Amino acid sequence: MMVEVGMKTKHSEHSSYREKLIEHLFIGELLKISWKYDDCLLEVAKPEVDNAGYDVVLEANRVMRHVQLKSSYSGARVSKQNVHVKLSEKPSGCIIWVYFNEETLELGPFYFFGAAPGKPLPSLETAKVAKHTKGNSEGYKAERPNIRVLNKGDFTCFNSAFDVYQALFYSSGIKDAG
């Protein structure tokens, strides 16, 4: 028997499920682009342990990207994201913030924070140090020294997964895309 659950409740009660679903849908979109335009060059790997600030490793066109994935539903009020500083130690590290339609799960737009293919993550030195969301017994919220806060304005917006794929792996665009 299937129990009807309201959208807001479903998204909050099953947030880890939703996070994995959006990740798989996004990777599926990138694989589809690789299939259609890039001779199936995209390779995808997952870390066994998540302690270096990335969720997935993507490689194509001799460019390896360590990617931290974030997601928000369209219309969400969130305007910033926390980023682990260790991501800047990885080759071509980047953050991709995927927006999705709450009802259809259609993806887009996509927000990208990173550099050109083969270049390191832009410096996080000037970014604000994040604080814990919950205070201690006195209400003090300690800093999280390895986490920085990026504002939405720090990201580049792309309307399609195709544009994200090009930003990840090609400086001048995929030749076969026409």
**Section 76-98 average pLDDT:** 94
The reported pLDDT for the residue numbered 29 is 98
CA dist., res. 15 & res. 18, Å (int): 5
* CATH architecture, domain defined by 7-173: 3-Layer(aba) Sandwich (3.40)
Residue 64 has pLDDT above 50, yes or no: yes
CA dist., res. 173 & res. 165, Å (int): 9
Task: Quote the pTM value.
Answer: 0.89
**Section 56-74 average pLDDT:** 96
What are the boundaries of each domain within the chain?
7-173
Strands in 80-84's sheet, in edge-to-edge order, are: 80-84, 143-151, 128-131
The reported pLDDT for the residue numbered 178 is 45
Residue 7 — very low, low, confident or very high, per pLDDT cuts 50/70/90?
low
CA dist., res. 158 & res. 105, Å (int): 17
